[in-house]
Amino acid sequence: MKKPLVMLLAGGGGTRLSVLVKHRAKPAVPFGGAYRIIDFALSNVMHAELDHVGILTQYKPLSMMEHVGVGEAWNLNGHLRGAHILPPRTGEADSDWYQGTADAIWQNMDFMSSLKPERVLILSGDHIYHMDYRRMLEEHLAKKADVSIAVMEVAAEDVSRFGMIWSDEEGLISRFEEKPAEADTRLASMGIYLFEWSCLEEALQQIVATRVGNDFGHDVLPHLLGKKRMITHRFDGYWRDVGTISSYFQASMDALDRASGLDLDAWQISTQDVTHQEGDRTPACFLSTSDCQDVLVSAGCRIAGDVRRSLLSPDVVVEAGALVEDSILMHGVHVGAGAVVRRAVLDKGVRVGAGARIEAGDAQVKNVQYEKCSLAGMTVVAKDVSLPAGLSLGSAVVVEAGVKESDFPSSVPPGATISPGR
């Protein structure tokens, strides 16, 4: 039996992640200190010992392409295995860009056919979870399924966010409805599909090639009901869609609490360091003036101030007298002496001037321009922005990419958006 071919959908823009996706695709957003969101799906593939992964890119793919490289970090490089970057096709008027999840797979039929798969495992690159795909394959084979869909139970108030599934005691699917307003089932699709190759090929020919539809949830899966044997594979572990700032923040905080089910050490997540520096980073350095409680601190950090309930990516500096609390600081962030950073997400290279204050967290404050991002009162600062010394920012402020120190007004109201050249 051949191992399934993996097709990893990693082209989403993830616009609800605000300025974090201004220069990168959602799966390339840093997570959990030294990792990126796509590392979780790739590490699951590695642990399942699957050999070939097609990574479908689209939106601002450069950062992710550099990160994945040839797949060496996940043991995917070699003569008999590989990580294959698959950008959208160009030069064909109707298919320059992927029109949906099923269309993305359809546009790469030639790639899949060249590997002569028996089965295809379709994954999303923007979820945080740990799953053994081999168990799904075993159940798929045992039940002689044409399609298996990974499912998990969700709360009644969350059914409108998912494709909802009705099945019998044996897991045979009788109904599928994409994001219904309400449902009397709690089984939600996780966007993880295992197809028999012949079933997938036929379905895409009938749905995408004929322009009936472009999406698995809306089009392909409902089309297959009653025609093919479709079963559920139940999952009861940790799984989070980090599609908004608030959900991204909550999942990040879960990494500090093993009782949450998110355990980075136990999951053995692999990643690729693309900083191109010579040799390993130095260990994190904690000066005598520092006080750290409930934190994740990566290599290369230098901590002289206080850090509480926060995640620090590599090479972060927190100067003496500074306080970082309930925040996410990405690679190379520098917090100046006496500064305060509370309930904030700071992208790579952000510099917080001495004595500056970010005191966010009032969930009642809204940012109208970024309302769909569900900021929950948090303040977000884009990559490489420098905050002037003594500046004060409150809740739900978004500082966009390209902003210079001279762009900041003397007073920034809560819920404001700071744009370049104002």
pLDDT at 94: 46
- pLDDT, the chain, mean: 93
Res. 12: pLDDT tops 80: no
> In sequence order, what DSSP letters do the residues of 243-288 get, joined into one string?
-SHHHHHHHHHHTT-GGGT--HHHHT------S--SSPPPPPEE-T
pLDDT tens per residue across span 366-408? 999 999 999 999 999 999 999 999 999 999 999 999 999 999 9
Res. 298: pLDDT tops 50: yes
pLDDT at 277: 55
- Going by the DSSP 8-state scheme, the letter that residue 406 receives in this structure is G
Q: Work out the number of other CB atoms within 10 angstroms of the CB of residue 277.
A: 11
Res. 25: pLDDT tops 80: yes
pLDDT at 91: 47
Q: Where are the domains of the chain?
A: 5-244, 283-418
Residues in the chain: 422
Res. 96: pLDDT tops 60: no
Cβ–Cβ under 8 Å, residues 300 and 282: yes
Instruction: Give the confidence band of 421 by pLDDT, cuts at 50, 70, 90.
Output: confident
Res. 243: pLDDT tops 50: yes
Question: Residues 174-194: what's their mean pLDDT?
Answer: 95
Res. 124: pLDDT tops 60: yes
Domains 5-244 and 283-418 agree in fold: no
pLDDT at 212: 92
The CATH code that applies to domain 5-244 is 3.90.550.10
pLDDT at 357: 97
Q: Is the backbone of residue 355 left (phi > 0), alpha (psi -120 to 50) or beta?
A: left
Instruction: Give the confidence band of 90 by pLDDT, cuts at 50, 70, 90.
Output: low
Residue 116 burial class via C-beta count within 10 angstroms: exposed 0-12, middle 13-18, buried 19 and up: exposed
Pick the CATH number of 283-418 from 3.30.450.40, 2.40.50.100, 1.10.1740.10, 2.160.10.10: 2.160.10.10
Using alpha carbons, select from 68, 80, 31 the residue that is nearest to residue 249. 31
pLDDT at 355: 98
In three-state secondary structure terms, 112 is helix
- In terms of pLDDT, which residue wins out, 281 or 325? 325
Res. 97: pLDDT tops 80: no
Cβ–Cβ under 8 Å, residues 21 and 112: no
The Cα 101–Cα 204 span in angstroms is 11
Residue with tokens 């500056």: 356
Question: Residues 105-109: what's their mean pLDDT?
Answer: 94
pLDDT tens per residue across span 61-78? 888 888 898 899 999 988
Instruction: Give the confidence band of 112 by pLDDT, cuts at 50, 70, 90.
Output: very high
The Cα 135–Cα 131 span in angstroms is 9
Instruction: Give the confidence band of 281 by pLDDT, cuts at 50, 70, 90.
Output: confident
Using alpha carbons, select from 229, 233, 232 the residue that is nearest to residue 145. 229
